[in-house]
Amino acid sequence: MRKLILILMLCVACASLSAAPKSIYDFNLKTIDGQPTSLKAYHGKVVLLVNVASKCGFTPQYAGLEALYEKYKDKGLVIVGVPANNFAQQEPGTDAEIKKFCSNKYNVTFPMMSKVSVLGDDKTPLYVFLTAKDTDPKFSGDIQWNFTKFLFDRNGNPIARFEPNVTPDSTEVTAAIESALGK
């Protein structure tokens, strides 16, 4: 009986280990329109994931993000905007208000997700994965502000992290994107 219990405990432990997320493709979010979506939809694409906000000094980066998207989307780049209100309440609006702002002010056409938390006790699981040392040792660490950018290869593996002061049109970002697209 003890052996059977031990075997069952090992099976449960192994099952939970295999369920641990391994890439961004293991996460689901809601679109800004409230529809559930899996990041698996972007498999085979180079993904630039950005936590965004509408009332931030970095908000004009939306223009650069949209320009990058337009320039590289046909080559396999997708930009995913993830609104968050974690920093000085700079994203206070509803998803509908955020969508309207992005469309009207910056003509955003890249995918936008529903507002989440990227910091604190209510941090969304995707950002727990992105910022934890055990799951992302190379690019881990708390999000410091709006417009932190994570770049992923076509298999969902993180290949770069750019802090907010690194603009989307910087040589650093475009070179990393072009390199990832070329692979």
Beta bridge partners of 83: 52
pLDDT on residue 135: 84
Is residue 3 a part of any domain in this protein? Answer: no
Angle between helices 61-72 and 95-106 (to 10 degrees): 70
- Contact between 154 and 183 (Cβ < 8 Å): yes
The amino acid at residue 137 is P
Q: Which residues are catalytic?
A: 56
User: Which one-letter DSSP state was computed for residue 31?
Assistant: B
Is residue 27 a part of any domain in this protein? Answer: yes
Separation between Cα atoms, residue 166 and residue 181, nearest integer Å: 20
pLDDT on residue 91: 97
100: containing domain: 22-181
Is residue 58 a part of any domain in this protein? Answer: yes
pLDDT on residue 1: 52
Rounded to a whole number of angstroms, the distance between the first and last alpha carbons of the chain is 53
3 state DSSP class of 173: helix
Is residue 10 a part of any domain in this protein? Answer: no
Is residue 129 a part of any domain in this protein? Answer: yes
Q: What is the pLDDT along the chain (183 residues), one digit of tens a residue?
A: 554 444 444 444 444 445 788 899 999 999 999 999 999 999 999 999 999 999 999 999 999 999 999 999 999 999 999 999 999 999 999 999 999 999 999 999 999 999 999 999 999 999 999 999 988 788 899 999 999 999 999 999 999 999 999 999 999 999 999 999 998
- We report the CATH number of the domain holding residue 69 as 3.40.30.10
3 state DSSP class of 33: coil
pLDDT on residue 75: 98
User: Which one-letter DSSP state was computed for residue 166?
Assistant: S
Is residue 87 a part of any domain in this protein? Answer: yes
What the block records as the tokens of 169 is 């049109």
Is residue 124 a part of any domain in this protein? Answer: yes
Is residue 6 a part of any domain in this protein? Answer: no
What region, left, alpha or beta, does residue 3 occupy, with left being phi > 0 and alpha being psi -120 to 50 degrees? alpha
Q: What total of structural domains would you count in the chain?
A: 1
| Beta strand extents in 32-104 (DSSP E only) | 36-38, 46-52, 77-83
pTM, entire model: 0.88
